[in-house]
Every structure is written in C-alpha cells, then in structure tokens.
C-alpha cells in the first residue's frame, strides 16, 4: 500500500463562470467541492489505476468536516488527523469564456506542536503495519501549514527509512532541501520549483544540485517538454522523456500523477535499482492523462495507451 | 420583536486580494466567513441598534452548519429550519489594489415542498407568540431558492396580516408583485429592481406602479441620490430624502439597513399612519451608516448623527 501524506490539505471549491470581470457581481451555480491537496490527488490517481493507497490528511473546522465527508464519499481510503484550525479552501474560478482559471489558494492555518506530533505519530503507526496494510512507499506532497518546521517532510522520510520504506517528496525550497539532506528516494520539482529551490535555471544543473544535496533521484517535470530524471548512482546520465505532441487540457494535478507513477515504481520490491526508463515513461503518460482529465487527481483512460507513445532519449 | 425571514441565506466568504488578475494563481489569507443573506443583515442591524430581532433561516449541509455556527457566535437570535440541500455560498473578492469587489453569488439549492412548508410553519408559529416574543413586524428579504413558488413571500405577508402584524418585503420581480397583490405594508426596491419589476425607468412612476399593484407604501433607494417614499393613501405625494454629500464606502448591505429602519417605523404601534418623514430620514441615515461600515449588516456609529443631516423635500 502506498501511503500519501498531505500536511496542508484543502477543500477545492471550483466555480464555472462565463467571463470573470473584476468588480462585477455574478450569479453562479453551486461549485464542485472536492477534497484537495497534492497527496490527496496522488492517492486518487493510485486508487484509479488499482494500486492500494491511503491518504493521511489533517482536518479542522467545518471545512475539515467537508473534507472528511468528501473523502468518504469518494471511496478514498484515508486517515484524518483532527486539528483545531479550519482546513483551508482553494477556490478556482474556471472561466469558460476566456478559457483560463483563476485560483485563490489559502495559506492554511498553523498547527500546534501537539498536532504536528499527532500527524507524525499517525504516519509512524501506519508505517509499522504488517500484512495487507504494509506500506510499500511513502509520498509526502504539497505545502506545509504556516509556521510548520521546514524539516517536517524530512522527518517523515527518516521514519519511512527506519521502517525500510522508500519515500518520495513533492515540495519546494527549504522543506525540499531538508528532505534531500536525509536521502529522500525521489523528489519531483517542476521547472519553477527547481529554480526557486536551487537558483539554477537549467533543469539538468538544478537536478544535479538536488542530488548533491542528498536526493537519491530527481525527476524534473517540464510541462509540454516532458520530464528528465537523474540518479545519484550515475549523476552524469540524464534520461529524458516526452510525448511527440503537446496536449490541451487542465494541467492541475499533472505533477501529482507523475508522483503517483514514481511511487508505483519505487514500491516495486524487485531486487536491484528501480527501472528509471519505465518510471519516466509511466510518469509522462500519467501526467499527460491527468492533463486530459477534467479534475485534478483523475487520469483520462488513455493513460495506458499514452505510455506506448512516450519517446525516451539519453544524454 | 422584529422577525426577519431569509428564504435563501448564504455563507458569505470574503477574501482580500491585491490585484485580481484573471488566469492568475494567488496566495490568500483565510477569508472572513459570516452568515449572510438580506434578512440576516437586517436582523444584525436591528440587534446593533438595540431592537429585538430574530432571524429565520434555512440551513443545510456543511455550509449550513457553518451558517448556524456563525449565527450562534455572532449572538444573533435565530431559528434554523433544517433542509437537505447545502446552504449556498457568496464569495466576495475584495481587491485592495483596485478598490473594487468581485462577487460570486451562488443561486442556492431547491427546497422540497415539505421544507417550504416547514419554513412557513416556523414563521407562523413565531407570529403567534405572545408576551416578550410578540412579533411587531415581519421582514422577508432576498432571493428565493431556485424553484420556490413566486408567492412564498406573499404567503408569509398574509400570515403576518392574519396575526395582525405588518410586513415588509425586499424582493424583485414576480415575488415582489405577488407581495404587492396581498397588500404588503412596505416594499423597498432599488432603481434596478424597480426597472426589472415594473419596466419603468422613472422611480416615481415605478413606485406608483407598485402602489397600483397593491403595496401600501413603496420606498425606492437611489444610492447616493437618496430615497423616495410614496403611500397608497396619498399616491400623488412624493417625499424625497438624501444626504447633502455622497459617502465613500461599501454599499453592500445599505439596502438592508434601510429595510431595518422601515421595519422599526412599522413596528411602532402608535395609533395612526406611520410617520413617513421619520421613516425616510432614518432609512437614509442608516443606509449611509451601512456604507461607512466595513461589513454588510453593520452600521457605523455615526448613524444617529447622520439622521440630523438628512434633507427632506416634498413634491
């Protein structure tokens, strides 16, 4: 089972509007309301492709109730760590006329020290499971709540390693660097996150900077330009993958689909190194299938067929 | 006690943004979350000025829980009629840079016939109270839920009249005309609502059309141009009131403050006709004080002083 942790989940509230004119008053239909946050999206993708996944989230306030209720309705296996502060909202205004989406991302509310401890304890407990609930990979995804220590993700990676479980972190800045420092098995920045974290505009140089910081593998997602992966064991090699054509759709959640694909590869206990070519091929295909699907956390059924179209190159 | 009914209340979610660029992704602080809807705002104003008020609202879903919780926190006397559909949201994006506000008003969810009956029954029960809970005026404010009969407000007016209680309706279109047809004591359209209801651009002609439709009194709010009132007993007379200068601020809730002022005048059981000059003077002052206050349902403490500045003219 793949365990995903979302330290700062959100309730995603999505409105369809026809023309968003600043200063105007619009009548709108009831929004789509969905449990969100990157780790939740990763667990949704895994569940869709038939891989057991469990999403750990914090939840508080009425918005937290809404989050938990929606997870239950979705049939997504989950564990809620109750907190006092209200779960944040992420409000998306999908403008059907202009073809763009405006997003208001709340920062979230601070967690008390005891709440951070409870989150860690829940993850450690789940990492200790044996039998069918045994965790094969840990994924820690998304922003931290305001005021949380930058080492939160790294601490969870160490807990996973203590339990013999590989770990993927999808983060940016100090939390990403801290996860690298404890030898995280894979990180997946996009181009902007890589620049923000390493100060390096070149994806290969930035990825190697994260290897030097201690990461075992770095996948960099480059939007329509595909992805690259580098590995600490062969830092000179760069594997690139992309689809022969760009796809139109909703890029929200494309990175989460890539993380889900990487986690499936790392969870495979076949002795030896993970097959990076297979990992990258799947990550590109699932990411593209996420672009084709309307909602974050969903893959278009073409995800299997797309894998065959992925073009791999080495340099 | 003044009873306000809000058949289609909302949870008001207000975000502060610095520049709302369509298509952008913004990090925002947690929003202000407040129980909203016109009748709720009227009850808030009345409570602030020391007049007993009770707000009747429907509430459903997690947003309905949020609504009820916020009413309780506000210390506003209220009665919740539970319904199955989720209470709608009204999302306001207050752009501090541009100085304007973009509003997304959800339409709301349909009420079942039994839920409409429960709302009517709750109002009828409250209208029957004796002693300190005796109702001195009924206010029915705001939009109807989708699919609700246009005669909902009118039915509540008739129930009030059956109990010997005067009634104010703040509505637009067929529900407003239906309330006029049963002899509602006062209606308060603004210029746009009057045009939408009567097809007449001239406020005096539009107001007289509502008298002809059966309303006893019509107050038309004209923004910075003040207000007019006409009365079915002297349809040829028009009383106008305005402040000598325009005020800057937040006009949301200004109409609700005017309704609150009108309800206070109608609730006064002094024999004879209500003093329309006093009513209009107070309505203009409270409305202006609402513009000066940051949130709908609040008056700036200047509301008493502003009454002295109101200029009345007859024509």
Q: What is the pLDDT of residue A20?
A: 87
Q: What is the pLDDT of residue A251?
A: 83
Q: What is the pLDDT of residue A277?
A: 96
Q: Nearest CB to A23: which of B30, B102, B105?
A: B102
Please tell me the distance in Å from B199's CA to the nearest CA on chain A: 22
B270 touches chain A (CB under 8 A): no
Q: Do B102 and A24 touch (CB under 8 A)?
A: yes
Q: ∠A144-A146-A149 over CA atoms, to 5°?
A: 65
A140, A220, B41 from B302: Cα distances, Å: 53, 59, 18
Q: What is the pLDDT of residue A286?
A: 98
Residue B49 has pLDDT above 80, yes or no: yes
Q: What is the pLDDT of residue A91?
A: 94
Please tell me the distance in Å from B309's CA to the nearest CA on chain A: 31
Size of interface A-B (CB pairs under 8 A): 97
- CB-side neighbour CA atoms (13 Å) of A286: 29
Q: What is the pLDDT of residue B248?
A: 83
Residue A271 has pLDDT above 80, yes or no: no
Q: What is the pLDDT of residue A100?
A: 83
Q: Which residues have C-beta within 8 Å of that of residue B143, sequence separation ≥ 6? A: B7, B8, B107, B108, B171
- Within 30-89 of B, beta carbons closer than 8 Å to A belong to 30-31, 62-63, 65-66, 69, 86, 88-89
Set of chain B residues whose Cβ sits within 8 Å of the Cβ of A193: none
List the single residue in A with minimal CA-CA distance to B16.
A104
pLDDT grade for A124, boundaries at 50, 70 and 90:
very high
B214 touches chain A (CB under 8 A): no
Alpha-carbon distance of A176 to B112, in angstroms, equals 51
Q: Do B27 and A103 touch (CB under 8 A)?
A: no
Interface test with A, best of B91, B94, B192, B193 (most A CBs within 10 A): B91
**Bridge partners (DSSP) listed for residue B258:** none
Q: Nearest CB to A105: which of B26, B69, B109?
A: B26
Give percent above pLDDT 90 in chain A: 87
The one catalytic residue in B100, B170, B256, B268 is: B256
* CATH assignment of the domain containing B279: 3.40.1190.20
B16 touches chain A (CB under 8 A): no
Q: Which domain holds residue B176?
A: 2-20+29-314
Q: Do B29 and A106 touch (CB under 8 A)?
A: yes
pLDDT grade for B134, boundaries at 50, 70 and 90:
very high
Largest pairwise CA distance in chain B: 60
Q: Mean pLDDT over residues B111-125, rounded? A: 98
Q: Which residues have C-beta within 8 Å of that of residue A220, sequence separation ≥ 6? A: A188, A189, A190, A191, A194, A203, A206, A207, A227, A228, A229
Q: Mean pLDDT over residues A196-210, rounded? A: 97
A100 touches chain B (CB under 8 A): yes
Q: Do B104 and A28 touch (CB under 8 A)?
A: yes
Alpha-carbon distance of B287 to B302, in angstroms, equals 11
For the record, the structure tokens of A31 come out as 């929004």
Q: What is the pLDDT of residue A82?
A: 98
Q: What is the pLDDT of residue B273?
A: 79
Q: Do A100 and B26 touch (CB under 8 A)?
A: no
Q: What is the pLDDT of residue B35?
A: 96
Alpha-carbon distance of B56 to B69, in angstroms, equals 14
pLDDT digits (tens, 9 = 90+) for A134-193: 999 999 999 999 999 999 999 999 999 999 999 999 999 999 999 999 999 999 999 999
ipTM: 0.79
Please tell me the distance in Å from A249's CA to the nearest CA on chain B: 14
List the single residue in A with minimal CA-CA distance to B104.
A26
Residue A54 has pLDDT above 80, yes or no: yes
A109 touches chain B (CB under 8 A): yes
Give percent above pLDDT 70 in chain A: 100
Q: Mean pLDDT over residues A113-120, rounded? A: 98
Q: Please identify every residue of A annotated as catalytic.
A: 256
Q: What is the pLDDT of residue B20?
A: 87
| Residue A129 near residue A135 (C-beta atoms within 8 A) | yes
pLDDT digits (tens, 9 = 90+) for A211-239: 999 999 999 999 999 999 999 999 999 99
Lookup result for tokens 């800057």: B248
A125 touches chain B (CB under 8 A): no
How many domains does the structure of chain A reveal? 1
pLDDT grade for B247, boundaries at 50, 70 and 90:
confident
């Amino acid at each position: 089972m793949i365990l995903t942790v979302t330290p700062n989940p959100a309730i995603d509230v999505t409105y369809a509007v026809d023309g968003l004119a600043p200063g105007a008053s619009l009548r709108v239909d009831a929004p789509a309301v969905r449990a969100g946050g990157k780790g939740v999206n990763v667990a949704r993708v895994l569940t869709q492709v038939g891989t057991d996944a469990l999403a750990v989230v914090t939840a508080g306030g009425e918005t937290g109730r809404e989050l938990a209720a929606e997870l239950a309705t979705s049939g997504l296996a989950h564990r809620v760590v109750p907190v006092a502060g209200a779960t944040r909202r992420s409000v998306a205004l999908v403008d059907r006329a202009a073809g763009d989406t405006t997003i208001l991302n709340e920062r979230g509310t601070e967690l008390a020290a005891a709440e951070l401890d409870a989150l860690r304890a829940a993850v450690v407990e789940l990492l200790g499971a044996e039998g069918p609930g045994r965790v094969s990979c840990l994924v820690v995804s998304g922003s931290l709540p305001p005021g949380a220590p930058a080492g939160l993700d790294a601490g969870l990676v160490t807990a996973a390693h203590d339990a013999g479980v590989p770990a993927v972190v999808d983060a940016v800045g100090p939390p990403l660097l801290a996860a690298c420092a404890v030898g995280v098995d894979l990180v997946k920045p996009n181009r902007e996150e890589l620049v923000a974290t390493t100060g390096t505009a070149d994806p290969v140089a930035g990825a190697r900077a994260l290897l030097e910081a201690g990461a075992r593998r770095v996948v960099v997602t480059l939007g329509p330009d595909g992805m690259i992966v580098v590995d600490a064991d062969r830092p000179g090699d760069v594997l690139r993958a992309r689809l022969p054509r760009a796809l139109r759709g909703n890029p929200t959640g494309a990175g989460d689909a890539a993380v889900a694909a990487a986690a499936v590869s790392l969870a495979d206990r076949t002795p030896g190194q993970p097959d990076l070519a297979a990992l990258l091929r799947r990550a590109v295909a699932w990411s593209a299938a996420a672009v084709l699907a309307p909602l974050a956390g969903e893959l278009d059924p073409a995800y299997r067929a797309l894998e065959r179209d992925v073009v791999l190159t080495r340099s």
